[in-house]
A and B are shown apart, each in its own frame.
Chain A
């Protein structure tokens, strides 16, 4: 062994010893409170009518109050020492909002003032949190597991210090043994804290559910906003386009009817005009309906609709698909419009000449891949088309993976989980 190895070992043993001590102290905080209260009760003895008070009241209360800071400390230590991040999973405060009734809503109840609402919310968040039970369980478990193991090196050091000081040989031998145990176990003894913390401090099923509910709530809001905007757009298009044209058509026909006797030539011209107007409004309606629900998608399903899309695209698009997938209409619609958007991007932004679309089912759902030979460099701007596409897919728990290095090629993969039909 050279000196460098020796010094590095010494450093690890020293660091390990310090860490073991920290773990030991932290895990023994709550047991220490219990021990102190029990000792106090015993000292007051049976003669004192209040001797039960510390054990029955103070110790449990202290446990409740201390469990959260202890758990937070363990979490941050584990993150600092091993880079393992453990999600805290405490309940988050919902925003306190002023309702139109003049009361403040804090997510749990209505209060008269903002301050009351905040206080009430803080109290409820702290004491109605399912995470409290998890923290209590952890404070009970940790002294018997990580605490116990972390106690080995300090105990060895203590044995060495006490044993070496004794003149008797057996005691000295025990001291040497203690030293050996301390040095040998110091680099490793604290490591037990990581698995214990990961196992008992991670978010419980209830917390994960709560998070999922939050996520779904946000998605629902997104979806309803998008839907409302879409309906508004359709209404506007109908109002400014087809409806206005039909009014014009009626006017032309009424005028023509009037002119039939007096000026048949002008009447005929008006009729021709009316016919042209009817054709134009049909074209507008057709475009509008295509944007809502493309006819081929309705008639034939996703695969043929994508084939039709490929035919209409200015790119050379090859489509490969497994048979005739039939999925739920909303999922088909999302996949179709996603593909349409990606092909448009390939033309507009990437200036591609060829593209390949493949549709496949795997055991979890449907996967649509769109590749082009364009310039690449596609990025997802907030509020841009790709971000919108990601949101649309997220409604079905779908995912969007984009690989688009500068210089191309771009490959985008949309995956939506769905049961096979």
Chain B
């Protein structure tokens, strides 16, 4: 994959580049400020970009805004946001355009390199990679909470893993169940939520996320 890395702290940027290259992917450009990030994204159009939220010049949400601006220009440009914090508000903004190919993870998700690279691959393929903390907050927020009341506990855990962006096989592995059991649960919960169960797993996840993102 061709990857852009935007991170203002040299140590982290360097470490991330080395990690990505260790897995045989190519880092085509790096950026350390908001404007640089936007420029790199629009110029290189990478397969996926790793972007930090807080960057110079303002040390506020520069990175997030650059990513959103780039995606407004190039809809569906795959971006994985890495941050010290995961905020529901930012997650909802990233999901708002409904095109997918977004990820939002805590910085320490790079500790588990395999998982991190897998998340990059998922986002590059148009899928999603959402931090479990964000998903659990999305699921328990006031409006969702009421609409998810009539799901069983098992359906609830399948839904949250699906919303994180995991495939059916991955969910099956996590919950120690068979693939067929998982597809049974997904069918029933899609029925309960009144969503159409799409064959493509990415579109299915987007449907779930859009559902959770409704105010």
Q: Which residues of A contact B (CB under 8 A)?
A: 275, 278-279, 282, 286, 290, 295-296, 298-300, 304, 307-308, 311-317
Determine the residue in chain A with the shortest Cβ distance to B65.
A299
Are B111 and A317 in contact, CB atoms less than 8 angstroms apart?
no
With A316-B142, A316-B143 as given contacts, are A295 and B54 in contact (CB-CB < 8 Å)?
Answer: yes
User: Residues of B contacting A308 with CB < 8 Å?
Assistant: 87-89
10 contacts between A and B (CB under 8 A): A275-B112, A278-B108, A290-B85, A300-B61, A308-B87, A308-B89, A311-B88, A314-B145, A316-B142, A316-B143
Contact across chains for A279 and B111 when beta carbons are under 8 A apart: yes
A389 to B180, CA, bound (A): 55
Distance between Cα atoms of A314 and B53 in the complex (Å) = 26
With beta carbons under 8 angstroms apart, the residue of A275, A296, A317 that contacts B87 is: A296
| Complex-state Cα separation, A247 to B84, whole angstroms | 21
Are A295 and B142 neighbours in the complex by a CB distance under 8 Å? no
Partner of A315, one of B88, B106, B112, B142: B142
Instruction: Say yes or no: A298 contacts B60, CB within 8 Å.
Output: yes
Distance to closest chain B CB from A23 (angstroms): 67
A278 contacts B142, C-beta separation under 8 Å: no
A177 vs B107: C-alpha distance when bound (angstroms): 99
Alpha-carbon separation in the docked complex, A238 to B210 (Å): 39
Docked-complex contact B61 and A299, CB < 8 angstroms: yes
* A282 cross-chain contacts in B, Cβ below 8 A: 84, 106-108
> Which residues of chain A have C-beta atoms less than 8 A from B92's C-beta?
311
Tell me the minimal C-beta distance from A372 to chain B in angstroms: 13
Check if B84 sits within 8 Å of A295, measured CB to CB. Answer: yes
Minimal beta-carbon separation of A304 from chain B (angstroms): 6
Taking a contact as CB atoms under 8 Å apart, the answer to whether B142 and A299 are in contact is no
Chain A: minimal CB distance from B144 (Å): 10
**Binary contact track B61-78/A, C-beta < 8 Å → 1, others 0:** 100000000000000000
Residues of A within 8 A of B88 (CB): 308, 311-312
Instruction: Let me know if B108 and A311 touch, CB within 8 A.
Output: no
Q: Are the C-beta atoms of A300 and B60 separated by less than 8 Å? A: yes
- For A282, A290, A311, A317, which residue has the most chain B Cβ atoms within 10 angstroms? A311
Which residues of B have CB within 8 Å of A275?
Answer: 111-112
**Interface residue B137 (Cβ < 8 Å from any Cβ of A):** yes
Bound form: Cα–Cα A311–B108 in Å: 24
Q: In the complex, which residues of chain B have a beta carbon less than 8 angstroms from the beta carbon of A315?
A: 142
Contacts of B107 on A, CB cut-off 8 Å?
Answer: 282
- The residue of chain B having its C-beta at the shortest distance from the C-beta of A354 within the complex is B142
CB distance from B168 to the nearest CB of A (A): 27
Contacts of A314 in B (CB 8 A): 140, 142, 145
Minimum C-beta distance from B119 to chain A (A)? 16
CB distance B89 to A307 under 8 Å? yes
Q: Would B60 and A279 count as touching, CB distance under 8 A?
A: no
Bound CA span A314–B59, Å: 30
> A279: nearest residue on chain B (CB-CB)?
B108
A179 to B185, CA, bound (A): 105
In the bound assembly, the distance between CA atoms of A316 and B54 in angstroms comes to 29
Q: How far is the CA of A286 from the CA of B60 in the complex (A)?
A: 16
Q: Please, how many angstroms separate the alpha-carbon atoms of A315 and B143 in the complex?
A: 9
B residues 90-140 near A (Cβ < 8 Å) are 90, 92, 106-108, 111-112, 137, 140
**Contact B142–A317 (Cβ < 8 Å):** yes
| Docked complex Cα distance between A279 and B61 (Å) | 23
CA distance A295 to B64 in the complex (A): 13
CA distance A409 to B106 in the complex (A): 39
Q: Quick check: is B141 within 8 A (CB to CB) of the other chain?
A: yes
Q: How far is the CA of A279 from the CA of B106 in the complex (A)?
A: 10
Asked whether A296 lies within 8 Å of B108 as measured between CB atoms, the reply is: no
Q: How far is the CA of A313 from the CA of B142 in the complex (A)?
A: 8
Structural contact, B85 and A295, CB atoms closer than 8 A: yes
- Compute how far the CA of A304 lies from the CA of B60 in the bound complex, rounded to whole angstroms: 13
**CA separation between A282 and B140, bound complex, in Å?**
24
Tell me which residues across on chain A come within 8 A of B108, comparing CB atoms.
278-279, 282
Residues from chain A with Cβ under 8 Å of B142 in the complex:
313-317
B105 to chain A minimum Cβ distance, whole angstroms, is 12
Contacts of B59 in A (CB 8 A): 298
